[in-house]
Amino acid sequence: MRYRLFEVFHAVMTRGTVSAAAQGLGVSQPAVTKSIKQLEDELGYLLFDRLGGRLVPTEAASALLQETERAQAALEDLRSEAIRLRAGTQRHLRLVSIPSLGLDVVPDAVAAHLAEAPDTRFTISTRHSGEMLAEISKSAYGFDLGFVYDASTRPASVGATEIGQVQVVCVAQRGLMSGAAPIEVEARVFSGGAIGLEDSEPLGRMLLGFGSAKSVTIDPELRVQSYQMAAALARRGCGIAVVDGMTGLYMTERDEGLDLLALPENYVMPVNVVYPLAKGLTILAREFVDQFSGMLAARSDQLKRRLSGPLE
């Protein structure tokens, strides 16, 4: 099955008529019609209904169009990479991350990538997960990939792949709960002693789910959107903060006034790479995801050692 047949199919779908597709491809209308018929014969099903001399896309054609666009984007990426290698030009990666993964993991991955490929140019931004998932597939947004925790609320136009997990922890003012077992920390969280997180954030939704399973309603006096803000409030004795492990590790490494507290091991959040589904992940993006995954695993190992330290 030749890729050229899919190019003709894409041209008909996007341009609307056989004549427009033929003009865009620089071929005759009969050649376009013949290619569509050949593709249908090889696939074994109709892509278009013939109505009054017009080609009307079937449901199968609409489904195939999305995959064809992804394949075309991947082929264009391959062509661009080949041209770049020949010309020796810079590669450019535009990425976005939630703030907590941007504290250490993204900078570590960028540094590691630049050590191996110093010609790469980066554009890096941070967004909260809801905004990122809503916007990343829009061309005006301009990013190639993003890193978030739970991506289950993403729209259909956004692709996602889980690349790791991060343990959920608590941070508290030093001495407030020193030596507390994970089950004791959990009990404190659900007894009203925790700084709350907005339900729009993945960790906020997770806590709601755990609370519901325990028939506990979480209604804190303090509710924030940012994990870093929660940790800063905990530092001032305003309660204990439930945060992702990357934030907890970063904050307690730099502030002796905070203790890092373990929760039961079932408190984990998935880490996902997200991207515009129609475009897919470029070669450069896939290389960076590998670097990111390695740095995430390294920081997760550091977190585990920190949490198990007092028990040794």
Q: Which residue has the higher pLDDT, 190 or 125?
A: 125
What is the secondary structure of 138-172 as a DSSP string?
STTT--SEEEES--TT--TTEEEEEEEEEEEEEEE
Task: Tell me which of 19, 51, 85 is where a domain ends.
Answer: 85
CA distance 309 to 311: 5
Q: Would you say residue 27 lies in a domain?
A: yes
Q: What CATH number does residue 253 fall under? A: 3.40.190.10
Question: What distance, in Å, lies between the first and last C-alpha atoms of the chain?
Answer: 61
Q: Please report, rounded to a whole number, the percentage of residues in the chain having pLDDT higher than 70.
A: 90
Please give the C-alpha separations between residue 188 and each of 84, 140, 238, 254, in angstroms, as whole numbers.
56, 44, 13, 25
CA distance 136 to 132: 6
Q: Give the domain extent around 61.
A: 3-85
Q: Would you say residue 38 lies in a domain?
A: yes
Whole-model pTM over 0.75: no
Please state, rounded to an integer, the average pLDDT across all residues of the chain.
Answer: 86
Q: Name the residue type at position 104.
A: D
Please say if the pLDDT value at position 191 is more than 80: yes
Please count the structural domains in the chain. Answer: 2
pLDDT of the residue at 159: 92
Please say if the pLDDT value at position 89 is more than 60: no
Q: Would you say residue 187 lies in a domain?
A: yes
- What is the CA angle 22-28-29, rounded to 5? 65
**29-87 pLDDT tens trace:** 899 989 989 988 988 888 888 887 788 888 888 888 877 877 776 676 667 666 655 55
pLDDT of the residue at 80: 64
β-bridge partners, 54: 51
Q: Would you say residue 134 lies in a domain?
A: no
- What is the CA angle 282-112-70, rounded to 5? 5
Q: Would you say residue 157 lies in a domain?
A: no
pLDDT of the residue at 71: 73
Dihedral sign for Cα atoms in the order 168, 303, 274, 147:
positive
Q: Which residue has the higher pLDDT, 212 or 218?
A: 212
- Taking a C-beta distance cutoff of 8 angstroms, is the pair 303, 309 a contact? no
Q: Would you say residue 96 lies in a domain?
A: no
Q: What CATH number does residue 63 fall under? A: 1.10.10.10
Q: Quickly count: other Cβ atoms within 10 Å of residue 281's Cβ.
A: 21
Task: Tell me which of 32, 51, 85 is where a domain ends.
Answer: 85
